[in-house]
Structure 1
Amino acid sequence: MDKQRDFVLRTIEERGVKFVRLWFTDVLGTLKSVAIAPAEVEGAFGEGIGFDGSAIEGLTRSYESDLLAFPDPSTFQILPWRGEVDPTARMFCDITTPDGQPASAEPRNVLKRTLAKAADAGFTFYTHPEIEFYLLKSSRFGAEGPEPVDRAGYFDNVPGGTAHDFRRRAVRMLEDLGISVEYSHHEVGPGQNEIDLRYADALTMADNIMTFRTVVKEVAIEQGVHATFMPKPLAGEPGSGMHTHMSLFEGDVNAFYEEGAQYQLSRTGRQFIAGLLKHANEIALVTNQFVNSYKRLWGGDEAPSYITWGHNNRSALIRVPLYKPGKGGSARVEYRAIDSAANPYLAYSLMLAAGLKGIEEEYELGPEAEDNVWALSSAERRALGYQSLPSSMYDAIKLMEDSELVAETLGEQIFSYVLANKRREYDAYRSQVTQYELKSTLDVI
């Protein structure tokens, strides 16, 4: 840690950094930032930066509002979009109480606690997200809704197009920030794009996702367009997911791999999937945290609606990707419900906790879904025992309320805050009179 701190202080001096932004998130995953002068960085490492936690969504209660932000030197990066004028860097922070205890309601600490539990069981948790988002001509919209920057489709090459230039610029910025990109391409929807980040341990990846969203927003502003991670911004078009590939390692050995097993998937891997399936409904309010999230899940296209697993089956909630011969380290499972608006710290905490529960309790994995689940009739799905994911935020709230797993993983404060916040959001949503209602009933009743 001392070497990392020395590196940060030396780099600040050598690069002429003028501002250092200290980053953390609130419970809903909104990025928070406070800028300090370079002269204050050494003191921040040792003593932290004090702030009023009660002013941050869900972070603490008013009667225990004083909190400290301690920058994590391992996350230091120069922000490339600031250029050479007033060079600016950033570090993610660990949030503590004045007596040095980790703040119980800080999302990054929640993930650290869950990762520590996995470590006690001998596991390191790795994730690899495929992040989708839309590029729109503007954040403003008329009666027809938002206007995408193009009408291109899946894998389309649009020479000179906004999306092509956008992805090139965004990927370059991410690489400058030390975030490795595996793929980037146009997605199915008009103006929809996907950038896949190369796998990393879950804490690093959650930090990377928060940085990724900022990079995408900054590049969009630079190019005169608007980027959104809203799960379903366009009616009749695909929503934006954040399909996440996951694996557990025991040292250098992939715990999900077993040579000769079906799909080369180990018993540990099967139990992990069983845990995710059993608790999928309970964690949905965090993996899909907005009213709009459920319009993605139930809006058709490739969003999963039913709690199933399958080998290379894109209609399933959990997919076991095609095994790469000779690459046991690549064995993994893909969770397809999580959307691009989720708080990655909390969502990854719950996904890991669900999988670990399956391993601890030795859950048995049921039969895989071999057919296209979307194409089955309701009666066929019932006969096969396929449960559905929540169809609305209201359903998700009810399912999370009674979850011991979620309460234990998030802690009492975040658990209560999320439920209260989402009840308010749903009450506000259902009180609206929509354009659909006016168009369909105003003239005929």
Structure 2
Amino acid sequence: MSKTLETSPNARINKTLLDRYAKLEIPENKVIVTYIWFDDCIRSKERVLNLAPTSVNDIPIWCAGHGEDDGSLSEWYLHPCAIYKDPFRGGKHILVWCETYSGDGKPSITNHRNNCAKIAVKCSAEEPWFGIEQEYLFLDNDGQPLGWPKNGYPGPIGPYYCGVGAESVYGRDIVDAHLRACLYSGIRIFGTNAEVLPGQWEFQVGPSSSVSVCDDLWVGRFLLQRIAEEFGVSVTLDPKPVRGEWFGSGCHTNVSTKSMRASGGIEAINEAIEKLSKSHEKHIKAYDPNGGKDNERRLNAGCVTAPIDKFSSGIADRSASVRIPKTVADAGCGYLEDRRPASNCDPYMVVATMLSTICLDE
């Protein structure tokens, strides 16, 4: 048993006791709704409704404090915008992803969904599709990467990526639980795999439309943290969680338009890459919540990354800023992969910035 499972308060709780309460009947006309939103971190709280919602319009707008709460006019409005099935309670109970609005009715400082939706409407003729690859690292209860020696480092990088075996893979039970929870909830999850850093994993959402893929990623992040909580493990989205010659975590974003997917679409892909090359600084600033400062530690031309201050692209080149997959080059159409977004990015900002550059020529 890992130190986490021995020392974490959550992991020490006897969860079999929960069974007696989980089996209690909830009145037929009562539905538990978990409101989920983001300010400086992902937050959630529950509300009991007297009628099962059939759409977000049936779910009341609610209020909540936020990370900068000073007690004075500090409430935000929670506007429900996407419904998911609740994998923790099952049945008719639901999760609802919310946009946040300030008291004056304007989108809050962390609400980038509103702008993303507006830009997506302007680009609808090109029918953009997105797929996002979320990398993350599990942390033990002492803040060290899960499975790492407490007074040293694991063996050299090599066997961990898509690895198999107790000596190479840490946290698979949590990953499998997360995959099943996402599928149950209705998230369009594409897959999972162990990553290069020991204890590091990835899940992918999409392909789907501009706003939906971001909704799915945020709720997928919530489910990941919520499930890891039960195992007494933490999740970090830090782009460079371990200093030195250890791989960082990204949020590689794949995009295609109707023109790119059509026969001969490689021309449209190359045109999009040319536009991205001329907007590199703008994208770097949008690709992590600290305007590029978090990504400076990851994008250093090492560990299969491009330098943060130089744009590059290539076929099957995972050390480039933007990659054209070999299968796309062979087919002459498909999509491109932007490898610059940081693991802690706001996907709405990433998608909106990509659309504004590729489709709107901004």
TM-score category, normalised to shorter length:
0.7 to 0.9
- Alignment map for 1:348-359 (pairs within 5 Å): 348-358=351-361
The answer for the alignment partner of 2:296 in structure 1 is: 294
Bigger mean CA offset, 17-26 vs 279-288: 17-26
Query: d(CA) in 1 for partners of 2:226 and 2:325?
Result: 33
Q: 1:23 aligns with which of 36, 41, 50?
A: 36
The answer for the alignment partner of 2:275 in structure 1 is: 275
Query: d(CA) in 1 for partners of 2:80 and 2:209?
Result: 19
Query: d(CA) in 2 for partners of 1:234 and 1:19?
Result: 39
Native 8 Å contact 1:104 1:110 kept in 2: no
The answer for the alignment partner of 2:8 in structure 1 is: none
The answer for the alignment partner of 1:81 in structure 2 is: 88
Indicate yes or no: 2:209 matched with 1:201.
yes
Native 8 Å contact 2:35 2:98 kept in 1: yes
Aligned-partner residue type, residue 111 of structure 1: C
What is the percentage of aligned positions where both structures have the same residue?
21
Residue 298 to residue 14, structure 1, CA distance change in 2 (3 Å)? farther
Query: d(CA) in 2 for partners of 1:15 and 1:153?
Result: 48
Native 8 Å contact 2:266 2:329 kept in 1: no
Question: Is there any run of 5+ residues in structure 2 with no aligned partner, and where?
Answer: 1-25, 149-153
Q: 2:117 aligns with which of 112, 119, 122?
A: 112
The answer for the alignment partner of 1:411 in structure 2 is: none
TM-score of the two chains, using structure 1 as the length reference: 0.62
Aligned-partner residue type, residue 23 of structure 1: I
Native 8 Å contact 1:129 1:196 kept in 2: yes
Pairwise CA distance, 1:40: 7.6
Native 8 Å contact 1:158 1:164 kept in 2: no
Alpha-carbon RMSD across the aligned residues, in angstroms, is 3.4
Native 8 Å contact 2:85 2:186 kept in 1: no
Query: d(CA) in 1 for partners of 2:212 and 2:197?
Result: 29
Native 8 Å contact 1:50 1:66 kept in 2: no
The answer for the alignment partner of 2:319 in structure 1 is: 315
Pairwise CA distance, 1:346: 1.6
Q: Alpha-carbon deviations, 1:385-411, whole Å to 9, x = none?
A: xxxxxxxxxxxxxxxxxxxx6xxxxxx
The answer for the alignment partner of 2:57 in structure 1 is: 45
Q: Alpha-carbon deviations, 1:408-440, whole Å to 9, x = none?
A: xxxxxxxxxxxxxxxxxxxxxxxxxxxxxxxxx
Query: d(CA) in 2 for partners of 1:148 and 1:47?
Result: 39
TM-score of the two chains, using structure 2 as the length reference: 0.75
Pairwise CA distance, 1:324: 5.3
Native 8 Å contact 1:229 1:240 kept in 2: yes
The answer for the alignment partner of 2:347 in structure 1 is: 344
Query: d(CA) in 2 for partners of 1:15 and 1:300?
Result: 57
Question: Is there any run of 5+ residues in structure 1 with no aligned partner, and where?
Answer: 1-12, 250-254, 359-404, 406-445
The answer for the alignment partner of 2:95 in structure 1 is: 90
Native 8 Å contact 1:241 1:336 kept in 2: yes
Q: Alpha-carbon deviations, 1:249-287, whole Å to 9, x = none?
A: 3xxxxx11454x5xx513x33332222221121232220
Higher percent of residues as helix:
1
Aligned-partner residue type, residue 266 of structure 2: L
Q: Alpha-carbon deviations, 1:367-389, whole Å to 9, x = none?
A: xxxxxxxxxxxxxxxxxxxxxxx
Aligned-partner residue type, residue 131 of structure 2: H
